[in-house]
Every structure is written in structure tokens, then in C-alpha cells.
Structure 1
Amino acid sequence: MESSDAIDITLPVDRSLIIEELMNEYGDAIVRLSFTYTNNAAAAEDLTQEIFIKCYEKLPTFNQQASLKTWLFKIAINHCKDHVRSWHFRKVALFDKLLPGQTKPLEDDIISREESNALASAVMKLPIPLREAVYFHYYEELTVKQIAELTNGNANTIKSRLKKARERLRGLTGGYYYEK
């Protein structure tokens, strides 16, 4: 098959055959597209499965105003954007960015992961202004001045928020939080 646009989808048609052809033709491309949104291979594969399920469910509504390929990619883009905007993705992405994994022996990795999870949980417990300052400073690596400009705040206020955040993080993590 050269292109899914050649697929005859006039009903009645077995939707599973059409989806199977779409998966064979565009499956890898949808995984790559999903990866560009998530930067996570496992999440991209999960999203791809969800996208093809959604296509299967929506196939009867396809009105052939666009090509089947265009329709599939539009569904994929919208699904990926919804995923990236979701609370779960933002929380997981924040944890991953604040606490990047490292290659270590298994015991060190387990201990490090527990500490990282505790720190990430503690960051998520901070009030939004403090969490925002921590996020921009440590994840986005912005300077205090840049954060102040971005948030329409005062540089001294941002410094104060970072100091309060570090103090609270020490308390929330049992004192093992330290700045590197």
C-alpha cells in the first residue's frame, strides 16, 4: 500500500482493517510525533496507542474533506497537546526535570530515587509563588532578574521566595535538602 489515502473507507467497511493499515503506514511517524511532545519514549508509545484507539472510535465521523493521513495527524496533534496540558503530565514532567536520573549502582539509585521523590513531593507542597520561583530558578535555570521580569515581580521578592522555599524544603524533607 502506497498511501492510506488510497484506502476505500466507504461504509460498510471493517474499521479494524483500516486502522491496521493506518498503523502499518503511519505508526512510526505517530510515535515520533508523540515523542516530540513528551520527550519520553514510553509515554510516546502509550499516546500512540491512545491515538489509534481514538481514530478507531472516530472513523465513522471521517467526512473525507481532508486526506486520511491529515485527519490522523490532526487527531494525534490534538491528543498530544491535551496530554501535555494535563495535570498528570505537568507534574511528572516537573519531577523529571527537577530530579533527573543518573546512572549509579542499584542501591544508590534506589536511595537517590527515594530522596528525589521526597524532594519532588516537597516542592509540590510549596505554595504556588514559592514553587514557581523554584521551578524557574532550578528547572528553567533563570536568574533572579529574569524570573522577576517574567513574573512582573521584584528581584528582592524573588530572592525572598527562593530563600523561603529552600527553608521550607529543608523542613519538609527532614533536613536532607541541600543546595548543590
Structure 2
Amino acid sequence: MSIPDRKPPEINKDELLEKMMIDYGNDILYLAYSYVKNRSIAEELAQEVFISAYTHLDRFQWESSIKTWLYRITVNRCKDYLKSWSYRSTVLSTVFDLKMGSRDKETDEIIIQKDEKSKLSNLIFLLPLKYREVIYLFYFEEMNLNEMSQLLNLNINTLKSRLKRAKELLKREITKGGL
């Protein structure tokens, strides 16, 4: 079963949920992690996203893709979590495993690459949330500005400005840190 682009006449919610989890589970987890910086919390939020999607599937208008809808739910859940008391009382880790990697390189090269990725991810996490989210969506999720605009409910020009500013801040930190 593939996920339909338009509302099908009949939907088997259980099958669609399973397909959404298979197709988008890791993406939702990485997106949540980019916000909360803690794998176990990101996993909990990802579960909540799929529970919410399953519960509210009958309300889905099919005006956007299911992926965009799931991302919107994820962003909202993460922002709610970041505003919550439990977040403020939790110490966050700063380790971010990027989705990139290679198995064909020598061990030393892999270790160096992981160290550089770790440094880069730490620098990304130093950015304010509004810049961190556009960097993540643009570079790691490879979303275009239209998709990001719909997901974040922001004007495209605002996104362009944020992306430019995020790149400038990141470049300054990389230069300062010697990455």
C-alpha cells in the first residue's frame, strides 16, 4: 500500500498508520530530535505524533501531503514540549547524530568525520530555535522554501531572511571554533 496524495474513498486507518510509520518514522524522529536534543524524548514525541495522526486522520483535509501534515504535528508537539515545565526541568544533551555517514571509508577517516559532524551539530544546536529549525529543514530534510513556509506557517521572505541569518551565525561560529 502506498500513501495516497488525495483522499481515497475508503481509508483503512490501521494500514495507513503502519505505512506512515514505515515511510516517515525516522524523519519524524530526527525532526523531533533537532528540537529537543534528547533521543528518548524525541522518541516519545514521535510516538505522540503518530497517535495524534491516527486519532485525527478523519480531520485531515488532504490539502497538503501526509508528510507535511506529520511534520506540522511534530513541530507543534516539539514547540509545546519546549514550553512545558518538564522541558525546563530536564538537562538536555548536546550530541546530535546526523543522518549522514559512509561505510566505505577507512576507520580513521570515519572517526574524524564523526568528530567533525559532532562539532557541527553542536554548533547548530547553539543557534536559536528559529534559525536551527530552518537549517535542519533546509539541509537535512531537503525541504524547499514553499514546503517550509507551509510547515512553519511563515512567509517565504521571512524564511529566506532566517536561512541567510542562520548561515551567517553558523559560519561565524565555525570560523571562531576552527571547524
Which TM-score band applies after superposition, normalised by the shorter structure? 0.3 to 0.5
RCO (CA 8 Å, sep 6+): is it higher in 1 or 2? 2
Q: Higher helix proportion, which one?
A: 1
**Higher Cα radius of gyration:** 1
Q: With the length of structure 1 as denominator, give the TM-score of the two structures.
A: 0.48
TM-score normalised to structure 2 length? 0.48
